[in-house]
């Protein structure tokens, strides 16, 4: 099987990393970072969490590099580590969502205000929001969590939490205004 120049360079970098050369690891990261992020984004179904997953994967790659017997196997080996980290992230998200659903108040647990009140209109509007938007609203307003805490809990970037809060509040405002007409 004929190897490309890039594959040979990767193998040499792996050997240099295994010999303890730090600069070789930096070079390997630069060469593979984009590919591994795209791979993670594909596995996760979005690019939001891919940077964190790949960062975790690089830590595992660096720790396990000395155990890699075949430098030519670096690409598939690194992708397998990223795939495992993606699976961990997906499981963690599912577990967090299940935990959020388990603490959300039920309809019966919340005292229903008189029909036609602003609070009643708000509750009706919230029911039509996507689950992730409801979860963020609940964590922020009912549980008093800040943006960073929500981001850590849901394993999403803080900027995503901020934009979803902003979008959700705007959507609620529009929905309530439409229902008042």
Q: Under DSSP, is residue 24 helix (H, G, I), strand (E, B) or coil?
A: helix
Q: Which residues of 39-64 are buried (b: 16+ CB within 10 A; e: fewer)?
A: bbbebbeeeebbebbbebbbeebeee
Residue 9, token pair as written in the block: 């360079």
- pLDDT band at residue 108 under the 50/70/90 scheme: very low
Does the fold of domain 104-180 match that of domain 5-92? no
Of the candidates 49, 66, 53, 81, the one whose C-alpha atom is nearest the C-alpha of residue 151 is: 49
Q: What is the pLDDT of residues 38-91, one digit of tens each?
A: 999 888 876 777 888 999 999 999 999 999 999 999 999 999 999 999 888 877
Q: What is the pLDDT of residues 13-25, one digit of tens each?
A: 999 999 999 999 9
DSSP conformation class of 142: I
Report DSSP letters for 72-95, one per residue. GGHHHHHHHHHHHHHHHHHHHHHH
Q: Which residues of 108-139 are buried (b: 16+ CB within 10 A; e: fewer)?
A: eeeeeeeeeeeeebeeebbeebeebbbbbbbb
Locate the domains of the chain by residue range. Answer: 5-92, 104-180
Residue 66, token pair as written in the block: 């000395």
pTM of the predicted protein model: 0.57
What's the CA gap between 110 and 129, in Å, rounded? 18
Instruction: Calculate Rg over the CA atoms of the chain.
Output: 23
Task: Please provide the CATH number assigned to the domain covering 5-92.
Answer: 1.10.1740.10
Domain 104-180 has CATH 3.20.20.70: no
């Amino acid at each position: 099987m004929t190897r490309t120049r890039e594959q040979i360079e990767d193998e040499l970098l792996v050997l240099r990393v295994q010999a303890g050369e730090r600069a070789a690891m930096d070079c390997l990261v630069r060469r593979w970072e984009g590919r591994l992020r795209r791979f993670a984004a594909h596995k996760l179904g979005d690019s939001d969490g891919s940077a964190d997953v790949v960062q975790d994967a690089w830590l595992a790659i660096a720790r396990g590099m000395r155990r890699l017997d075949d430098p030519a196997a670096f690409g598939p080996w690194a992708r397998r580590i990223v795939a495992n980290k993606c699976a961990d992230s997906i499981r963690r998200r599912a577990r967090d969502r299940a935990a959020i659903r388990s603490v959300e108040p039920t309809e019966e647990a919340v005292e229903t205000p008189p029909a036609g009140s602003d609070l009643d209109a708000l509750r009706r509007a919230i029911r039509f929001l996507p689950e992730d938007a409801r979860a963020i609203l609940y964590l922020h307003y009912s549980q008093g969590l800040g943006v960073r805490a929500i981001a850590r809990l849901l394993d999403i970037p803080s900027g995503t939490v901020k934009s979803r809060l902003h979008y959700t509040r705007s959507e609620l405002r529009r929905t309530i205004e439409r229902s008042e007409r």
